[in-house]
Amino acid sequence: MPLRLIFMGTPDFAVPTLVEIVGAGHEVVAVYTREPKPAGRGMELQDTPVAREAKRFGLPVLTPKTLRTQEAQAQFRAFDADAAVVVAYGLILPAAILEAVPLGCFNLHASLLPRWRGAAPINRAVMAGDAESGVTVMKMDEGLDTGGMAMMERMPIDADMTAGALHDRLASIGSDLMHRALGALERGTLQVVPQPDAGVTYAEKLNKGETRIDWSKPAQEVHNHIRGLSPFPGAWFELPGEKAPVRVKVLRSTRVSGSGAPGTLLDDNLTIACGDGAIRILELQRAGKQPMKADEFLRGNKLAPGAVLR
């Protein structure tokens, strides 16, 4: 028998899993997501990506500000679901919600737990230079990503892979993993094991104070920093401007040979010296402009070898 499910998610990362669950024939009785936010030039209220997809399927959408009230918990229980699927929802689930579905709440987390529990696992894995990442289906408890693990899927992180590329790949892998986990749950064969105590790390939320590029660091760290923050919020440096410095985001880079004073432009191909070694910028974006390749950027910005990026 197909499961009767509540889906809880918000960003693009969660959409493939919702699509997979609906396509598998499970009965999604409600979709919980965050409230619409103003966006765009007109600052009109915009539904979350999950809300838009749920409405396309004709599913009921709920956007409570909190799940801690008795009213919200009663409403959740009233759906009489077997289980809940949670993917980057954005609200804490209190015990009353976790206990409201008989089979439990299952979270798709974008890391190989217990490594990178927390808010920004994809970015932190890339910024740390991890050689692999993956997704874990976890049965939720009241802790921060501490619940028992049901299934896991691994994948390599290529040397130049950005957080954005890893995000998209994990969203696809994760949707299939959750599909398989729900199939096992439906058959009564899903096994949940505790997370190991060793290897716990926390993926702290990104903050603006860590986005500026520090050219004095080794080239590998600079490269990891750039790709771990690409495409958003973006690692950046400044160029001299007519009235004020111009901020430039670096979206893609690669490690190359070279040396010089940190931040120095070494050639006509946007090779930049770091504290140890060098990187080459492949794609970048001036404030208020569209992303562009390095050669296109250089045609509009005259930079000679020896220039110093701040």
pLDDT in the model for residue 124? 98
2-46 pLDDT per residue, tens: 999 999 999 999 999 999 999 999 999 999 999 998 877 777 889
Q: The whole model's pTM is what?
A: 0.95
Please tell me the distance from the alpha carbon of residue 73 to that of residue 75, in angstroms, as a whole number: 5
Specify the CATH number of the domain 4-202: 3.40.50.170
Q: Which of 259, 235, 257 is nearest to 248 (CA)?
A: 235
Could you tell me the pLDDT band of residue 245, with boundaries at 50, 70 and 90?
confident
pLDDT in the model for residue 246? 87
Amino acid at 310: R
Please tell me the distance from the alpha carbon of residue 47 to that of residue 37, in angstroms, as a whole number: 7
- Quick check: 252 pLDDT over 80? yes
The two beta strands, 202-203 and 27-32, are: unpaired
Specify the CATH number of the domain 208-300: 3.10.25.10
Compute the average pLDDT of residues 184-213.
96
Q: Which of 220, 246, 152 is nearest to 190 (CA)?
A: 152
Domain map (residue ranges) of the chain: 4-202, 208-300
- Quick check: 66 pLDDT over 80? yes
* Whole-number average pLDDT of the chain: 95
Please tell me the distance from the alpha carbon of residue 204 to that of residue 120, in angstroms, as a whole number: 6
* 3 state SS for 200-225: CCEECCCCHHHCECCCCCEHHHHHHH
How far are the Cα atoms of 21, 121, 169 from residue 10, in angstroms, in the given order?
A: 15, 16, 18
Q: Which of 84, 124, 125 is nearest to 107 (CA)?
A: 84
110-153 pLDDT per residue, tens: 999 999 999 999 999 999 999 999 999 999 999 999 999 999 99
Binding-site members for (6S)-5,6,7,8-tetrahydrofolate are 111-114
Binding-site members are 111-114
